[in-house]
Amino acid sequence: MSAAEKKFILDLPLKVVLTEDGASHFISNKKKLLRFRLADNVEEYGISMEHFSPMSIQNMILVDYISKIEISMSEFVSRRQEIMDLSKVIVYSILYKQFDRQIFSQMIECDCVRHHNRTNPSQLIDEKTHIPEKHLRNILSFKDNAIQQARQAILEPVWKSIMSNTDYTPEEKNVYLLMTEKFLNRLNLMNWYIITKFYKTEGFSQIMSILRQSLAQYMDKSKVAEYISVMVMELALNSENTNMRKEARILYQGIDNADTLIYDPDIRKKIVEELSRKHEFVSLSWKIGGGSTSIGKQG
């Protein structure tokens, strides 16, 4: 993800399909939604982006504003790094969200939380609990020391384990140190409310154990982001080249080996221009809800 973070703006033509919450947010902020047709010929409402911050996409995914992201282009090779960066941002965002939900579902089953619920039936902390964000921010604003102490107590053993692991290279150790902190920092306010509420109370060790084990689990899961970004790009390039070979046979009839054409820079440029003129695009899409990626051609 480092490459995505180094470049604060990505230049890709995105169609962003919004969830109901996402659409409501944009409408309430007087942002006009677009109606567009996706590569599968389904019409959706959302927003389009061409120059955007990776963090803006990540933040919208984390608050469940995005249902689907699609890119349609005549060629991807010139945007290879940016597409891979976007793919990693999406995968990490999904992992952050899964981690956050897993932590919440496990913490509310802890003995200390259950004891609190039994003794305070009017202040239950469970899956139905809803505390307004503004109220949570106000509560947590007075608990900054507890947040920092809890964060340090959670991370220190995890970091020691990473640093003492002889199977990791120095670069991998740095990545994992950063990654564990990122996962913890992206916990939502409700999770931090629970952590600080029970910090240093009897039974908090169970919450600590949940957090540390989950960090180790998701640190391992995060390895998939790089792999997926490479696979997505390879599949996109294969589809792109298939499209180009087809167009090359039309433009240069009589040439048996289209590969000799599509890898010639000048001819490839002409083919790309013709594909763009005809709106013969290859589409790449991520269905955020299911965490899936699909690739196809759009005429």
Task: Provide the pLDDT for residue 295.
Answer: 45
Could you give the dihedral angle defined by the CA atoms of residues 141, 203, 222 and 85, in that order, rounded to the nearest 10 degrees? Answer: -10
Which residues contact residue 176 at a Cβ distance below 8 angstroms, ignoring those fewer than 6 apart?
Answer: 162, 168, 219
What digits encode the pLDDT tens for the residues 70-126?
Answer: 999 888 888 899 999 999 999 999 999 999 999 999 999 999 999 999 999 999 999
Question: Which sign does the torsion angle of CA 206, 211, 214, 215 carry?
Answer: negative
At 265, the pLDDT band (50, 70, 90 cuts) reads confident
Mean pLDDT of 184-189: 94
Calculate the average pLDDT of the chain.
89
215 pLDDT tier (thresholds 50, 70, 90): very high
Q: What pLDDT, on a 0 to 100 scale, did the predictor assign at position 82?
A: 93
145 pLDDT more than 90: yes
What is the pLDDT averaged over residues 24-51?
A: 91
Closest CA relative to residue 12, chosen from 90, 64, 67, 65: 90
Task: State how far the alpha carbon of 51 is from the alpha carbons of 1, 14, 48, 61, in Å.
Answer: 18, 9, 10, 17
Q: What is the pTM of this model?
A: 0.86
What are the structure tokens assigned to 2, written together?
A: 């480092």
Q: Residue 194: name the closest of 129, 97, 118 by CA.
A: 129
Average pLDDT over residues 140-159: 95
Radius of gyration of the chain (CA): 24
- Grade residue 289 by pLDDT with cuts at 50, 70 and 90: low
pLDDT at 278: 86
pLDDT over 60 at 156, yes or no? yes
Q: What is the DSSP letter of 122?
A: G
- Of 107-111, 235-239, 263-267, highest mean pLDDT: 107-111
Phi, psi of 152 (to 5 degrees): -65, -40
